Structure 1
Amino acid sequence: MGVFKAGRAIVAPRRAVLRAAAAMAVAGALPAWAQSVKGKLKVAGIYTVPVEQQWVGRIHTALKAAEARGDIDYVWAESIANTDYERVMRQYAEGGQQLVFGEVFGVERAARTVAKDYPKTAFVMGSSFKPQEPNFSVFDNYIQEPAYLTGMIAGGMTKSNIIGMVGGYPIPEVNRLMNAFMEGAKEVNPQVKFLVGFIGSWFDPPKAKEAAFAMIDRGADVMYAERFGVSDAAKERKVLAIGNVINTQPQYPDTVVASALWHMEPTVDRAIAAVKAGTYKAEDYGPYSRMEYKGSSLAPLGTFESKVPEALKEKVKAREQEILAGKFTVKVNDAEPKATM
């Protein structure tokens, strides 16, 4: 059973649902997002993992920021099992939430069915597939550009020329970041080799830590920490790590060299504005995670500013500027990355 927060959503009594339906009929039965909305927007988040998890945490952080500005009233449910996800979606839709965020990678069919059943609710969901008219938008963490830059840093920092990479599942959202990272590393170090593994979980730090230990034992001296737990192993074995989605250098000041950061604010703010203006439509929000929209960035080197060679920093900075200027494109490769040793 998941955990409900901020007002604890409760399925509305049948009589209340019928009253709401009647009110909408009087108003012309237009979806909430087909009319301009005055005041705060009612927004919900549905997450299959705790909000402490880095990927979901970025959505939660952006929504909390919108709440702090006074734009929305925000409730959320975390640690929702896939088998329970459809019920929670229906619960929020029937409870009057006007906009719902979440991630439906394991429940695509059920989630899209719910969206069809509640056409008056706007859904913006993490998904590997296309939008569904009229109300089911999708988004993705298209942060392959800063991932490429962190790969360049890793390729220049490794001494053993072996980099370990631990991911959750080999799905497009993970694969494209790993592949971009690998390409960046190879740009500055053609001799680099990769160890690649997936733990079959989105949130299992002990399992990720053990997988990282195994790679370090095989000679990896830089670890790509796509999952929590990898940086802990790197810290214990005194090797380096590269972060993903969030900046964990404050927790690992002598371990995490750099991170590819994801900023969900452009996506969240765009969806909120569209619903409030009555212009919302089903669309792909994925591109708003790119650097040009400030949806992603390379974290500052911080404690490693003086430890990364100047020549390497200059190469990374030049490539970053080319990306921002549209002069260099990081290829999107959703294929499962493979070990090279």
Structure 2
Amino acid sequence: MSANRTHPFDITRRGLLLGSAGAAAAAGLGLAPGRLFAQAPISVAGIYTVPVEQQWVSRIHVAAEAAKAAGQVTYTFSENTSNTDYPRVMREYAESGVKLIVGEIFGVEQEAREVVLDYPGTAFLLGSSFLPDPAYPNLAVFDNYIQDASYLSGIIAGAMTQTGNIGMVGGFPIPEVNRLMHAFMAGVRETRPDAIFQVSFIGSWFDPPKAKETAFAMIENGADLLYAERFGVSDAAQERGVLAIGNVIDTQSDYPDTVVASAIWHFEPTLQAALARVADGSFKADNYGLYSFMKEGGCSLAPLGTFEGKVPQAALDMVAEKEAAIKAGAFTVEINDEEPKSS
């Protein structure tokens, strides 16, 4: 999915077909200005299919906790919610009067939309591969469009690899993963045009042992730098003395001699935009993925930290130049959602 077009509703991406919902949601949210957010905090619930420590979900959780600390929201959450149980948990929170439900419905797209239609007075902000649909006026979707930061991290990776052989371990070959891998690879080629890539997907969002074993195999096959899209990859890199590039969160403090750089996702702009619209009654079906772009403050390159002074200056100069161009709108990182392949 690019930011400007809709995915076909095929079974190759999610294994789910989106059916027609009819006109039952035509009444809209029914959220009058001031009803949800006078002086009282907005009630928010998070529903997550993995632990809140998992990279992607952790960024949503951190943003919600920050809003709670600022007095903007009350916040409760459920983690490790199975796809089969997800609709039930959505209903329970909606029935309890929660005003904004956040989470990720990648594995339960159709079922979640059926729930959304039953609660037109609840705002839903959910991670999805699909663009917003006016048939579901109270469902706004988002995605981690952090390809800008991934591209910059690739520039650094290309300058740090000695062999030009880079291993990339992902969860599933879906748009949310594919676009970041492609952006990273494009960045690598800026500083290492002859780089080759080993690409593998472990078929899980949270299986560190499997990710680690996959990374070990890539190292055995010559990789001297790994793209750690999943937990477990940096552990393998650390044990075998090769470098790693992080994704979504900064784990350098855990791997000070291993993780060179990371592309960081900041969910705060996305959540703040949603809260403002819930508060004034204007929340509607919309694409919040754009708030993840670097020019919106939705992603950044983590500080070099322990690798300060170890990255070639020419690469850092290129990063600074490209970052400025991205923020100014003079340079656009390509969004490529196709499955990446090994070289």
Residue 115 of structure 2 aligns to which amino acid in structure 1?
A: V
Residue 309 of structure 2 aligns to which amino acid in structure 1?
A: S
Give ranges in structure 1 of 5+ residues lacking alignment: 1-28
Matches within 5 A, 1:199-218: 199-218=202-221
Question: How many Å apart are 1:314 and its aligned residue?
Answer: 1.0
> Secondary structure of 2:31's match?
helix
RMSD value over aligned CA atoms? 1.1
Question: How many Å apart are 1:35 and its aligned residue?
Answer: 3.2
Residue 33 of structure 1 aligns to which amino acid in structure 2?
A: L
> Secondary structure of 1:44's match?
strand
Matched, 1:106 2:76: no
> Secondary structure of 1:45's match?
strand
Aligned to 1:331: 334
Question: How many Å apart are 1:132 and its aligned residue?
Answer: 3.0
Residue 238 of structure 2 aligns to which amino acid in structure 1?
A: K
CA–CA distance in 1 between the matches of 2:131 and 2:115? 16
Matches within 5 A, 1:144-155: 144-155=147-158
**Structure number with higher helix proportion:** 1
| Distance change (3 Å), C-alpha of 1:30 and 1:161 | closer
CA–CA distance in 1 between the matches of 2:61 and 2:124? 15
Give the counterpart of 1:279 among 279, 282, 294: 282
Instruction: Normalising by structure 2, report the TM-score.
Output: 0.89
Aligned to 2:198: 195
Question: How many Å apart are 1:321 and its aligned residue?
Answer: 1.2
Aligned to 1:169: 172
Question: How many Å apart are 1:32 and its aligned residue?
Answer: 5.8
Matches within 5 A, 1:254-333: 254-333=257-336
> Secondary structure of 1:253's match?
coil
> Secondary structure of 1:213's match?
helix
2:86–2:108 CA contact under 8 A, matched in 1: yes
| Distance change (3 Å), C-alpha of 1:30 and 1:229 | closer
Residue 34 of structure 1 aligns to which amino acid in structure 2?
A: A
> Secondary structure of 2:227's match?
strand
Matched, 1:33 2:36: no
Number of matched pairs: 312
CA–CA distance in 1 between the matches of 2:332 and 2:275? 29
> Secondary structure of 1:33's match?
coil
Residue 111 of structure 1 aligns to which amino acid in structure 2?
A: A
Deviation by residue 1:248-271 (Cα, 9 ceiling, x = unmatched): 011111000000000000000110
Q: Name which one, 1 or 2, has greater alpha-carbon Rg.
A: 1
Matched, 1:156 2:146: no
> Secondary structure of 1:259's match?
strand
Which region of structure 1 is more displaced relative to structure 2, 29-38 or 177-186? 29-38
Question: How many Å apart are 1:34 and its aligned residue?
Answer: 3.1
Question: How many Å apart are 1:131 and its aligned residue?
Answer: 1.4
Residue 261 of structure 1 aligns to which amino acid in structure 2?
A: I
Residue 43 of structure 2 aligns to which amino acid in structure 1?
A: K
1:33–1:274 CA contact under 8 A, matched in 2: no
CA–CA distance in 2 between the matches of 1:40 and 1:31? 19
1:34–1:275 CA contact under 8 A, matched in 2: no
Residue 335 of structure 1 aligns to which amino acid in structure 2?
A: E
Question: How many Å apart are 1:30 and its aligned residue?
Answer: 8.3
Matched, 1:142 2:145: yes
> Secondary structure of 2:85's match?
helix
Question: How many Å apart are 1:141 and its aligned residue?
Answer: 0.3
